[in-house]
Amino acid sequence: MDLKTFMKLGIDLKEKLDSKVASRVGLGRSIVESPLGAGESICFEYLNFLTLGRRLLPDFEAYFMMAIQSWNRTTYKYASDARKVVEYVLKVLDLQVDANIEASEVRLFDSAHDKVQASALSFKSGDYDSSFNNLNSALELMLKEALGIPTTIASINTSNIIDVCVKEGIGPVEYLKQVKKLIVVPIDNKVKHQGYKADKIEALNAQKAVEDLEHQLRNEGVSLTREQRDKIFGSV
C-alpha cells in the first residue's frame, strides 16, 4: 500500500468516526458520548489503520505504538479519541505525500525541510520521539546535500561526518557541534540503546538547533577541497 492509498483509508475512517461522534446524546449543558462497543467493526478498522501506519511511516513508529497500546489498555473506547489520532496522522500524511510529489526533481534540502516541518508537527502533539527521528532524518539529508554525498547511499554516519567537518573547519562548525550534542549523541546513546524517552525541553532545543543549521547551510553553502572530500567520504 502506498501513502496516497493509506491517506484515502484514513479519510474514510475519519468520516466514519465523525458519524459516531455526531451521534452523541445531549444532557442539559453537558454532552455525553457513548463508548464504542468492543465488537464494533470500526474498532478493528482503527487498529488496522494504526498497524499500517506503523509500517508505512517508520519515523512515527513510536507514536503509532503508543496509540495502539493506549487503545488496547482502555476499557471504554471513544470515537472522539480515535478521531484525534486519525486527524494527526492525516496531517503527517499531507506533509509526506507533498514531499513525494515529483521526488526526482526535488532537491534534498527541500526534503530535509519537510522533515523539519514533520518534526515540528510531532513536537506540537507531544510526540517527542518522532520529533527526534524526523530531525535525525533531516540532518542526514542536509549533510548529503551540502557535502555532495550521493543519494544512493541510504544511510550515513552523521556523527563521523560532523567530526570531520569540525576538525577540518568545514561549514558552520559551531552549528554542527550543536546538532551533534543535541541530536546525534542523544539518539545514539539514549533513544536507541537505553530506551530513553525524549522530553519537551530536549526536543525543543534539538528542533531549534536543526532549524539554525538549515538556515546557515542554505545561506552560506559549503566548499570542499579534494582532500576534505576524500576524508568525508572515508567517514560515511
On whether both 168 and 209 belong to a single domain, the answer is yes
pLDDT in tens, 188-216: 666 555 566 778 898 899 999 999 999 99
Q: Residue 236 in contact with residue 190, Cβ under 8 Å?
A: no
* Residue 90, C-beta contacts closer than 8 angstroms, at least 6 positions apart: 7, 10, 11, 14
Q: Determine phi and psi for 199, rounding to 5 degrees.
A: -105, 175
- Which domain, by its residues, includes 180? 104-236
Region 1-19 average pLDDT? 90
pLDDT in tens, 44-79: 999 999 999 999 998 888 889 999 999 999 888 999
Return the ∠ at Cα 63 (arms to 35 and 179), rounded to 5°.
Answer: 155
Tell which residue, 150, 139, 5, 4, has the closest CA to residue 59.
139
Residue that finishes a domain, picked among 48, 69, 101: 101
On whether both 96 and 154 belong to a single domain, the answer is no
Q: Cα–Cα distance between 71 and 184 in angstroms, integer?
A: 32
Q: Cα–Cα distance between 141 and 92 in angstroms, integer?
A: 19
Q: Residue 83 in contact with residue 17, Cβ under 8 Å?
A: yes
On whether both 132 and 23 belong to a single domain, the answer is no
Identify the pLDDT of residue 106: 45
On whether both 10 and 62 belong to a single domain, the answer is yes
**How many domains does the chain divide into?**
2
Dmax (CA) for the chain in angstroms is: 76
Q: Cα–Cα distance between 140 and 75 in angstroms, integer?
A: 42
pLDDT in tens, 118-142: 999 889 888 888 898 889 889 999 9
Identify the pLDDT of residue 103: 46
Provide the residue count of the chain.
Answer: 236
In one-letter notation, the amino acid at residue 173 is V
- Model confidence at 102, in pLDDT bands (50, 70, 90)? very low
**Does position 100 have pLDDT exceeding 60, yes or no?**
no
Q: Cα–Cα distance between 7 and 101 in angstroms, integer?
A: 14
Region 10-32 average pLDDT? 72
On whether both 3 and 59 belong to a single domain, the answer is yes
On whether both 65 and 134 belong to a single domain, the answer is no
Q: Cα–Cα distance between 45 and 47 in angstroms, integer?
A: 6
Q: Cα–Cα distance between 34 and 29 in angstroms, integer?
A: 16
On whether both 196 and 154 belong to a single domain, the answer is yes
For the chain, percent helix, then strand, then coil, each to nearest 5?
75, 5, 20
On whether both 112 and 214 belong to a single domain, the answer is yes
On whether both 92 and 109 belong to a single domain, the answer is no
On whether both 87 and 143 belong to a single domain, the answer is no
On whether both 95 and 38 belong to a single domain, the answer is yes
On whether both 109 and 220 belong to a single domain, the answer is yes
Q: What percent of the chain lies above the pLDDT cut of 70?
A: 86
The more confidently predicted of residues 95 and 143 is 143
Half-sphere exposure in the Cβ direction for 159 (13 Å, CA): 9
Lowest-confidence pick of 3-12, 92-101, 156-165? 92-101
